[in-house]
Chain A
Amino acid sequence: MSTARKHGDSHSISKELIVQNKLGIHARPSAMFVKTASRFECDIFVTKEEKRESEKIVVNGKSIMGLMMLAAGPGCKLLVRAEGADALKAIEELENLLRRKFDED
């Protein structure tokens, strides 16, 4: 929280994260992602990297159905963008979650 405050009130941070667990972002990881994201004030948006720009969809990182809709399988690149005071902390936690492979595998 303290790190975020140093950066001022409103700012946007983006980070590219890679899905590392074997089954991808299915229901349980989605729920974990959403639970983590919901703890923060900032808005969180997630996009999956697609070959064609037209196929890209941006979903709310606090919505289970949204995240599941991405169908982000293992190896997929996700672009996570956080906007708000605690954006930095939020990104850190979400990155940690993906690195931990959602405590799966």
Chain B
Amino acid sequence: MQRDVVTVEKFYTANETPLDLKLVAGASGLKRIIREPTVNRPGLALAGFTRYFASKRVQVIGNAESHFLKSLPNEQRAARYETLFGHRIPCFVFSRQHRPDKSFLKLAEEANIPIFTSSLITMKFINLATLSLEMMFAPRGTELGSMVDILGVGVIIRGESGIGKSESVLALIERGYSLVADDVTKVTLVDGRDVIGTSSDLTRDHMEVRGIGIVNVAAMFGVRSIRHEKKVDLIVTLKLWDQVPDVDRLGMEDQYVKILGVDVTHITIPVRPGRDLARLIEVAAFQAKLKASGYNPASELNQRLIAKMTGGKTL
């Protein structure tokens, strides 16, 4: 599990269009690091109260701050600017098309702190920027295994090389399901609970099929055969038959593996020549979907059986 370092530059490149950001000063400070995944409105700091000032965050100057600054006498305003730029701030954003005054821009250049303007209204900007920062700060990692979206169930297929992962994935794509990632799935933890799988940008839409080579799935099977990202709901491990001593015959209790610290349902499918793996994985996904909706076929059948045998007693 790793966390990326989020620089102002990274925030800027990712959000230039969606947040309509324009860099107006302090370009030399783009390498500054944003240390907290949220934004701050520095109202109190501008009013002179700088204890607890959340200076590590992106500072947003909205309507209120802008007008407040204008209302201050020149001398006082200069003093407040001085205190503000005394902090190690990653960057400022003026929302609602507000423009910083000349002295502010000058101070920013001197302190190497980037200043952006945005046409968005402050509330909208704060919501979008927080979401984007949250994603950038999310813990991430990689899982060895291909990922397929089977009717809304995100399935990572794991197994030793040569056990039949790619063939299964191919067969699933032919059945109309979508490829998320081949061979290696990048995972991100969103909101501390959902594991989102995606492919690396470089290999997206492509997969390797032994004997054929690199295949462009989107070009071959059409746009519905690929999916950019999907929540991971199920991990399927393919294992050779004789390496599974204790195969689950009931499926009554769920088993889990931890991905980025979160439990994800896990099943092991024993592999033997002639087994239609794709079909089995498909059914496993449907079963996971049913169970997620609160229906466990094994325990329901068991309840029925016990009721019949004992005349009313239940587990």
Contact bitstring A45-69, B, C-beta under 8 A = 1, else 0: 0000000000000000000100010
Does the CB pair A35–B249 fall under 8 Å?
yes
What A residues does B301 contact at CB under 8 A? 27, 68
B215 at the interface (CB under 8 A from A): no
**Bound-complex Cα distance A14 to B128 (A):** 73
- Please tell me which one of the listed residues A25, A31, A73 contacts residue B250 in the complex, with CB atoms under 8 A apart: A31
Does the CB pair B309–A71 fall under 8 Å?
yes
A72 at the interface (CB under 8 A from B): yes
What B residues does A74 contact at CB under 8 A? 309-310
- Please tell me which one of the listed residues B246, B299, B308, B315 contacts residue A71 in the complex, with CB atoms under 8 A apart: B308
B302 at the interface (CB under 8 A from A): yes
What A residues does B210 contact at CB under 8 A? none
B72 at the interface (CB under 8 A from A): no
Does the CB pair A27–B309 fall under 8 Å?
no
Q: With A68-B301, A71-B305 as known contacts, state yes or no: A23 contacts B249, CB within 8 Å.
A: no
**A27 nearest CB neighbor, chain B only:** B302
What A residues does B305 contact at CB under 8 A? 24, 26-27, 68, 71
What B residues does A73 contact at CB under 8 A? 308-310
**A34 nearest CB neighbor, chain B only:** B249
CB distance from B132 to the nearest CB of A (A): 48
Does the CB pair A64–B310 fall under 8 Å?
no
Interface size on B, residues (CB 8 A): 15
CB distance from B300 to the nearest CB of A (A): 10
Q: What is the predominant secondary structure among interface residues of chain A facing chain B?
A: loop
What A residues does B313 contact at CB under 8 A? 22-23
CB distance from A10 to the nearest CB of B (A): 26
**Bound-complex Cα distance A23 to B299 (A):** 14
Contact bitstring A26-51, B, C-beta under 8 A = 1, else 0: 11100100110000000000000000
Q: With A27-B301, A27-B302, A71-B305 as known contacts, state yes or no: A22 contacts B252, CB within 8 Å.
A: no
What B residues does A22 contact at CB under 8 A? 310, 313
**A32 nearest CB neighbor, chain B only:** B249
Does the CB pair A26–B249 fall under 8 Å?
no
**Bound-complex Cα distance A23 to B50 (A):** 69
B283 at the interface (CB under 8 A from A): no
What A residues does B298 contact at CB under 8 A? 27
Candidate in A27, A35, A68, A72 with the most chain B CB atoms within 10 angstroms: A27
Does the CB pair B250–A23 fall under 8 Å?
no
Please, could you name 28 A-B residue pairs with CB atoms under 8 Å apart, sorted by A? Answer: A22-B310, A22-B313, A23-B306, A23-B310, A23-B315, A24-B305, A24-B309, A25-B309, A26-B302, A26-B306, A26-B309, A27-B250, A27-B252, A27-B302, A28-B252, A28-B302, A31-B249, A35-B246, A35-B249, A64-B249, A68-B305, A71-B305, A71-B308, A71-B309, A72-B309, A73-B310, A74-B309, A74-B310
A sample of 11 more A-B contacts (CB under 8 A), given A22-B313, A23-B315, A26-B315, is: A23-B306, A24-B306, A24-B309, A26-B302, A27-B299, A27-B301, A28-B302, A31-B249, A34-B249, A68-B301, A71-B308
